[in-house]
């Protein structure tokens, strides 16, 4: 399933796509040709994790990825079935930045609209334990240094008996200062933070399962 399309502002001929159980692919010529962007830069060459991948070139189950707003570079972040990764070269090589998170598994990832080093993920348990927050106590984990370190943001989020899932497109940011962050759940709630993830409030509940969240940027 092709689920993510990322573009480069000012360069419409450049595009990246994310495909479940395959990986990230990129084109520099408006889709006339494509190349794989799945190489691991911090691990020895060898079989990738699961999905029958050979030597890390294809078979990575990317869940979502984003391009940071950094002029002149192609800084990408991805949440994968097996961890969180960062690339400084448009996906030609990837560094794992999962260390410090409670789980390698999750679906959404979001990056600050002005600060390329600030990003958010919402970890879930993996396939065997169920796709809900670890310990049934959700937290949005924020990094201020490009994924080198992480901190849990729980203020305002339920901290017991919470078994929702947050899907790959169900987290978004806005262009305010400070930036707002939002996510929707499989249980039909929407949570919002007006201070870049430090405090949260449930702004809607009892909706159908939420599959995506978008924000409106006023002109």
Domain ranges of the chain: 1-96, 98-219
161 pLDDT above the threshold of 70: yes
Average pLDDT of span 145-158: 98
CA 203 → CA 9, 102, 191, 208, distances in Å? 32, 26, 6, 14
pTM of structure: 0.90
Average pLDDT of span 90-115: 95
With beta carbons less than 8 A apart as the criterion, state whether 83 and 102 touch.
no
- Choose between 67 and 219: higher pLDDT: 67
Average pLDDT of span 173-193: 97
Which percentage of the chain shows pLDDT scores above 70? 90
**What pLDDT score was predicted for residue 126?**
86
φ, ψ at 134 (rounded to 5°): -55, 135
> How many Å apart are CA 39 and CA 16, to the nearest integer?
15
Sign of CA dihedral 67, 68, 74, 79: negative
Q: Enter the tokens of residue 41.
A: 């830069």
Tokens 């092709």 locate to 2
**What pLDDT score was predicted for residue 218?**
66
pLDDT confidence bin for 51, thresholds 50/70/90: very low
CA 100 → CA 84, 97, 141, 166, distances in Å? 11, 8, 10, 20
**What pLDDT score was predicted for residue 43?**
56
Tell me which residue of 65, 64, 62, 74 sits closest to 9, measured CA to CA.
74
DSSP track, 24-81:
EEEESSTTSS-EE---BSSS-SS--SSTT-STTSS-B-EEEEEE---TTSB-EEEEET
Average pLDDT of span 77-92: 94
> How many Å apart are CA 219 and CA 203, to the nearest integer?
24
Average pLDDT of span 22-43: 88
> How many Å apart are CA 179 and CA 160, to the nearest integer?
27
**What pLDDT score was predicted for residue 47?**
46
Dmax (CA) for the chain in angstroms is 50
């Amino acid at each position: 399933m092709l689920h993510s399309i990322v573009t480069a502002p000012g360069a419409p001929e450049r595009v990246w796509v994310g495909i479940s159980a395959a990986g990230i692919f990129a084109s520099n010529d408006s889709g006339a040709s494509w190349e794989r962007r799945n190489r691991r830069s911090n691990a020895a060459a060898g079989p990738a994790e699961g999905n029958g991948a050979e030597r890390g070139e294809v078979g990575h189950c990317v869940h979502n990825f984003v391009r940071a707003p950094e002029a002149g570079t192609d800084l990408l972040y991805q949440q994968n079935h097996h961890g969180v990764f960062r690339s400084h070269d448009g996906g030609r090589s990837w560094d794992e930045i999962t260390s410090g998170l409670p789980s390698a598994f999750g679906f959404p990832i979001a990056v600050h609209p002005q600060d390329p080093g600030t990003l958010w993920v919402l970890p879930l348990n993996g396939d065997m334990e169920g796709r809900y927050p670890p310990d049934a106590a959700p937290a949005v984990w924020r990094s201020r240094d490009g994924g080198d370190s992480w901190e849990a943001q729980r203020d305002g989020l339920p901290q017991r008996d919470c078994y929702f899932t947050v899907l790959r497109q169900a987290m978004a940011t806005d262009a305010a200062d400070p930036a707002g962050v939002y996510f929707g759940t499989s249980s039909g709630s929407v949570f919002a933070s007006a201070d870049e993830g430090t405090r949260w409030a449930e702004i809607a509940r009892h909706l159908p399962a939420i599959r995506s969240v978008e924000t409106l940027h006023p002109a």
